[in-house]
Structure formats: structure tokens, C-alpha cells
Structure 1
């Protein structure tokens, strides 16, 4: 994927909106902030990358999608109608996405990191779950969650039942992670940072862009690369911005 920026254009990256959590009222307020941010960037945006966990839970039945988020999806449709490319990545909370966004909103959906080139800079972009060393328990769970047979059985639950079960699981998982302090910086043991270094040893990228960790980070990778984590929108409201030369992490002031 190649993107060429015109003067004044920028590429934006955001992740971990967790729309739907922890309750409908809080989620709706966050959704309104996200839409205000999208309104503020649309004149400069050459492309927008939504890098996973946009929804705290998402499952596409053959004829049903989760209730809510209509203003957010309406804004995504508006940006696409204005010709702004949008690239969507699944995260560990919304990995059960299929073709709804692609067919209805003209937004491609990726489940794994992809390489892109913006002007003359090389990027590797993805959500980040299950990458790098460690986190073996989640890697096993991800194999279960992405198993076609498991998804087939789940979809035969009535949506009112299936979505309620999944939302409860999603909420308890998030609380468990907070109790384990998994959103604290781990220094050299940051497994996504280690993953970037492993990739850099095989192929150079100027920028590695990931979400998932809920930590706004800018860390060196080798002699020329940098790893950026986009943070989250539950409390920090951080995003990535590339102006054609420099990449930076910024906070939305609403």
C-alpha cells in the first residue's frame, strides 16, 4: 500500500476506542468526542488508520450486527463519501469482524499487520495483540476465538444471548488486565517493542505503529526505526499523526 501526501496533508492513526465500554452512557460521550476529533482532522487527512479495539465487542452474524455506534459509523461513511481512505484493523476485542465495514462503508479490514509506504517512509501497522514473546495464554485463546468451528457454533446463539455473554467476558477481561497492571510500561520487557526489534533485524521500517497496550509510547528500534504505541481513548485520547516527514503522538484537546 502506497500513499503520497500533497502539501498540507497528513495521515492519522488511532486505536482502542473501546466503544461500548464500560456502559452505554460513558460510551456515547466517548463516541461524541471521537466524532469531534474526526471532524477536526478531515480537512488535512489523506488517510485514516483505525488500529484495532475500536469496539469493546463486535460480532457479525449473517444478518445482524451489534446495536449502537450509529453516529460513529455515520461519520465513517461521511469521510469515505468525501474520498478519505480509511483502513481498519481488528483487535482482540473486535476480532470477529467480517465484511460489513467493507461492503457497507467501503472500508477494508485487516486482521494482521501490513506494510505501507507513505511518501518515502516505510511503516508496519497493526493492532499488536499476540505479537512478540510471552502472553501464551492469550495466544491460545486467540486460536480458539478465531477458529471457524467455534465462530460457527457461537453464531447460532440468539444475538441477545451471544452478545450479552461476550460483553460480560470482555468487561471481566479488561478489569483483570487492570488488576495485573498490564497497562504499565515494562521497560525492555515490552513485548511489542521486542517484536519490532525482531522485525527490524529482518527488514527495516522507519515506523512501527501499534495499539493494544494502552500506552502512548515512542521508542527507538535499531539505528533508524521507531516504535509508536497509540495509547487509548478511554482516558487519554491520544493518536498518531504523520506529516510526510515526522511521526508524532498527540492528545486531542476537546
Structure 2
């Protein structure tokens, strides 16, 4: 994809809408919608890198209550012709067609490579990648198991969603974000994952979320690891103008 002159690509992640309650997260949701309104003016594309919701589960005919402002704004932007790409996170990994069918937003469950203006990006949420995090990796295998998902869908949505929301907030093994402090270049497992990937193929930018910390870390002379931070404490997002990638803070 060649980015038209004057256009930019935007990235954001880890909004956790609905946490700790729908009402408490509403100011953050309104702030995110204001950001979407701002960036749509010059966006060539928008990437949302997971954990937009603190919990999301699609039953056959039911999706979680709430998030009307966000979903409406995403529909408006998508309908206007600006492509939006969504990568599931560990809190909203149970997506199963609603975004594609209702909003025309493609959903990715694994990291994916994109090329913008001859720059190679590897983009994803970041959960379960790299060394360590073994407890969460075991938990993720259970959550993504088709039989487990089938069993869970037999619960009444009021019961299933309530249980999942409780676990999403209370269980740090599930959330995977128990230790949101910088661990050092040699211990940040997404940095180690990115360096490992570079052994096989060049990539200019590795862009992830999940860690809730805004970070820009050089991997070598031409490659960088970017973590987008979150919309709970930092309200940070990424911008690529065709040549340079920058992390910014939304202060609306």
C-alpha cells in the first residue's frame, strides 16, 4: 500500500472499554471516539491492536451490551471508505464475524505483515508471543479451544458475560497485564520476539500492544519495536506518515 500524500496511518490499542464498569469507562470511550473523529480527517487506514473491550463474546445472535458510541463511529468511518483493521487481544479474542459482517472491518487473530511505502510492518496485539508467559499461554489454549467455546455458548448470555467480565477484571493470569512496568530490553519478551523474527526476515517496524506501556526501542540500525501503550493511563497512539513512525498522546 502506498500512502497518499498528506495521509497517515494510525494505530491504537488497549482501551479496555467496559472496565471496571460500562459507566466508569464511558469518559474513556468518549475520548476514543473524539480521537477517531480527529484522525479520520487524514487517515489512510486505522489499526486497532486488540483489547478494545475488556470483554467481548459473540453468541450466535447476541453481542455484549454497550459500546454504542464506539461501534457507531467505527461504522461511520468504515462506511466512508477509510479501511479499519482489527487485531484481537487477550480480552476480546472471542470475535466471530460480527465486525466483518456489521462494520466491514477485517479481524485478525495472529500477527500479520503489511507493507506501507516499502516499509515492512509486523502488526499484532502481542499476547502469548516470545519466551515466558507460560501460564497465560496455557490459559489461551483453553479459551481458543473450539469445544470450550461451544460449551460456553450454551450458557445464557447474561450468565456467561457476567462470569467472563468478572474473570477479565479479577484474574491477572487471564488478563496477562499483571506487571505493567518496563522490564529492560533484555527481558521485554516482545522485544526478544521481534529480535528473533529479524533473524529470518527484515522488518522495519514491529508494532504491538498488550504491555500497556508506550515504548520505542531500536532493534538494529533499521528496525524498531513499538508498543502503543494504552487508553487507561497514557492515551497514546502511533502515527506513520509514510517515512517515520511516532508515538503521540491524545490530549482532547
Q: TM-score, normalised by structure 1?
A: 0.96
Alignment of 1:204-223 (within 5 A): 204-223=202-221
Unmatched tracts of structure 1, length 5 or more: none
2:226 is matched with which residue?
Answer: 228
Aligned residue for 1:189, secondary structure, equals: coil
2:183 is matched with which residue?
Answer: 186
Q: Deviations over 1:112-132 (max 9, x none)?
A: 000000111000000000000
Alignment of 1:53-92 (within 5 A): 53-92=51-90
Q: Distance in 2 between matches of 1:175 and 1:137?
A: 7
1:105 is matched with which residue?
Answer: 103
Runs of 4+ deviating beyond 6 Å: 175-179
Alignment of 1:234-249 (within 5 A): 234-249=232-247
2:10 is matched with which residue?
Answer: 12
1:38 is matched with which residue?
Answer: 36
Larger mean CA deviation between 18-27 and 148-157 belongs to 18-27
Aligned length in residues: 251
Q: Distance in 2 between matches of 1:110 and 1:235?
A: 26
What RMSD, in angstroms, separates the aligned Cα atoms of the two structures?
Answer: 1.5
Q: Distance in 1 between matches of 2:55 and 2:175?
A: 16
- 1:173 shift after superposition: 2.4
Aligned residue for 2:15, secondary structure, equals: coil
Unmatched tracts of structure 2, length 5 or more: none
Flag the 1:244–1:179 CA change in 2: closer, same or farther, 3 A. Answer: closer
Flag the 1:58–1:177 CA change in 2: closer, same or farther, 3 A. Answer: closer
Q: Deviations over 1:127-152 (max 9, x none)?
A: 00000000000000000000000000
Q: TM-score, normalised by structure 2?
A: 0.97
Q: Distance in 2 between matches of 1:112 and 1:179?
A: 19
Q: 2:19 aligns with which of 18, 21, 29?
A: 21
- 1:193 shift after superposition: 0.4
Q: Is the 8 A contact 1:90 1:110 kept in 2?
A: yes
Q: 2:195 aligns with which of 194, 197, 202?
A: 197
